[in-house]
Chains A and B, each alone.
Chain A
């Protein structure tokens, strides 16, 4: 089944404790992206990747890091999480940046930082 998977789905952590949210897709997509969703604010893009080893900032990259060493994986790293990073996070992919108007989203990761 073609899908985007994220792990963990739920995470409660404390301020400053480094964490990684994994994202993997099995559709051989070149383009991948991370979003956060907060109540009333829609989806805001954190980082995106046009291909392996090519990443760039979205609108809200502060406090996050990403890497794209393999085509299928695009982990989101929070080196020192803070409470304002409590949010619902979505990973998405599309065939290429040329088709990024049609993105496939993972199920989401609900992160709480206390």
Chain B
């Protein structure tokens, strides 16, 4: 099985940088994804790391270290609209159809 841990809440101010961590314990691991979900909305895909290292997409970056079973999502130049929940998710390598999501981190951006 899979188990993921991420902080339940993070607060930051507009313009700042925030890092949301995700640690995982898995019987198999294929890669780490990140999704954003605004209140009442559908999750939307942000980023994926299949290999160790940093992936950058605009203001968002994601990092993976397989040896540490750890990843993070980095949000730069925070805006009020970034207030949302952020989920990490893993896919099993033995069964590509199975996905496991973390419980989510609620990010609050303050002016």
B contact residues, total (Cβ < 8 Å): 25
A100→B96 contact, CB < 8 A: yes
A74 interface hit (Cβ, 8 Å): no
With both beta carbons as reference points, the residue of chain A lying nearest to B49 in the complex is identified as: A101
Chain A window 86-110, contacts with chain B (Cβ cutoff 8 Å), 1 for yes, 0 for no: 0000101000011011111111100
Given contacts A100-B91, A105-B42, A105-B43, contact A44 B48 (CB under 8 A): no
Closest approach, in angstroms, between the C-beta of A74 and any C-beta of chain B? 13
A42→B97 contact, CB < 8 A: no
B7 interface hit (Cβ, 8 Å): no
When chains A and B are docked, how far (Å) is the Cα of A102 from the Cα of B45?
6
Tell me what chain B mostly uses at the interface: helix, strand, loop, or mixed: loop
List B43-94 residues whose CB lies under 8 Å from chain A. 43-45, 48, 50, 87, 89, 91
Not counting A43-B101, A100-B99, a sample of 18 additional A-B residue pairs whose C-beta atoms are within 8 angstroms of each other reads A42-B102, A43-B89, A44-B101, A48-B99, A50-B96, A56-B95, A59-B1, A59-B98, A90-B42, A92-B43, A100-B96, A100-B97, A101-B33, A102-B48, A103-B43, A103-B45, A103-B99, A104-B45
Closest 6 CB pairs of A and B: A105-B42, A42-B103, A43-B101, A97-B96, A48-B97, A42-B101
Chain B residues at the A interface, C-beta cutoff of 8 Å: 1, 8, 30-31, 33, 41-45, 48, 50, 87, 89, 91, 95-104
